Amino acid sequence: MKVTIEVDCTPMEARQFFGLPDVEPMQKAMLAEMERRMMAEMEKFSPEGLMQSWFSSGTQGVEMFRNLMSGFLAKSVPGESGSSPAPGRPK
């Protein structure tokens, strides 16, 4: 024997029927706090924020940035000394 029961109600009505608490105000507060924190952290990753963090330590930051860029360039140019060829390619 097969019995099918169809209940037509909204999620809010179902929560109230089962005695579950209304979490909507808490969800709104949590989402607002998450959005506030995300927006504050996003400012650190703006171009201005990145440049400020890279160059804030004076010449040490400039030197680190120069070494980083020269490392990228050395790896991208084949045949440079210090760079290893791609697997399967002769030197």
Report d(CA 51, CA 65) in Å as an integer: 10
49 or 9, which is more confident? 9
Instruction: Specify the number of domains making up the chain.
Output: 1
With respect to residue 86, please indicate whether it lies within any of the assigned structural domains. no
Report d(CA 82, CA 26) in Å as an integer: 57
**Could you tell me which of 65, 85, 87, 66 has the C-alpha nearest to residue 75?**
85
With respect to residue 30, please indicate whether it lies within any of the assigned structural domains. yes
With respect to residue 91, please indicate whether it lies within any of the assigned structural domains. no
With respect to residue 31, please indicate whether it lies within any of the assigned structural domains. yes
With respect to residue 33, please indicate whether it lies within any of the assigned structural domains. yes
With a cut of 60, say whether residue 89 has pLDDT above it.
no
**Could you tell me which of 45, 37, 35, 83 has the C-alpha nearest to residue 54?**
45
pLDDT digits (tens, 9 = 90+) for 36-58: 999 888 877 778 877 777 777 66
Domain that holds residue 71: 11-75
- With cut-offs at 50, 70 and 90, classify the pLDDT of residue 18: very high
